Amino acid sequence: MREKRVKRPQLLWLAVPFVLFVVALPFVNRTEPGPGGVPFLLLWFVGATLVTPLAVWLTWRGDHR
């Protein structure tokens, strides 16, 4: 018997950290300093790290409805 497939589009939120950490790296890797003399890549990693729990929470919230 064929199983019924459940669609869970909220799992796409988990692709956001992957895109921020892996796919966007060639585009954000710069040598010029950003605000305050901090390298832009470091700012990008900090921002991506702060967005990751939000993406996981949105996935969890969508899965429990």
pLDDT tens for residues 3-61? 777 778 888 889 999 999 999 888 888 878 888 888 888 889 999 999 999 999 999 98
pTM of the model: 0.75
Give pairs for 36-43: CB < 8 Å, separation 24+: none
How distant is the alpha carbon of residue 45 from its chain centre? 10
Domain limits, the chain: 36-65
Structure tokens at 24: 């966007």
